[in-house]
Amino acid sequence: MNDYTWPSVYFAYFFFAICFFVAVFFFVRSWKDGYWGKAGEDVKYHVFEEEAGGKKLEEEMYGPR
């Protein structure tokens, strides 16, 4: 009689380890790129500050600040 439990357990732990290391990799990468600092959301405002028909898109969508 064969026990097929161990291969599935090893696969599950291997999969969890892969997911963990991928998450840590992208966390470190985003930390180095500056997305976790004080100016992390400045990129968002560059998109909204483009002019569209004489009004700023941010003001059209959210109203004046």
Q: Which amino acid is at 32?
A: K
Q: What is the pTM of this model?
A: 0.56
Predicted pLDDT at 16? 98
Region for 50 from its dihedrals, namely left if φ exceeds 0, alpha if ψ lies in -120 to 50, beta otherwise: beta
Predicted pLDDT at 46? 66
How confident is the prediction along the chain (65 residues), in pLDDT tens digits per residue?
A: 567 788 889 999 999 999 999 999 999 998 888 788 787 777 666 666 655 444 555 566 666 65
48, 58 contact by CB (below 8 A): yes
Predicted pLDDT at 12? 94
31, 40 contact by CB (below 8 A): no
CA angle 29, 33, 36 (to 5 degrees): 90
Domain range list for the chain? 1-33, 39-65
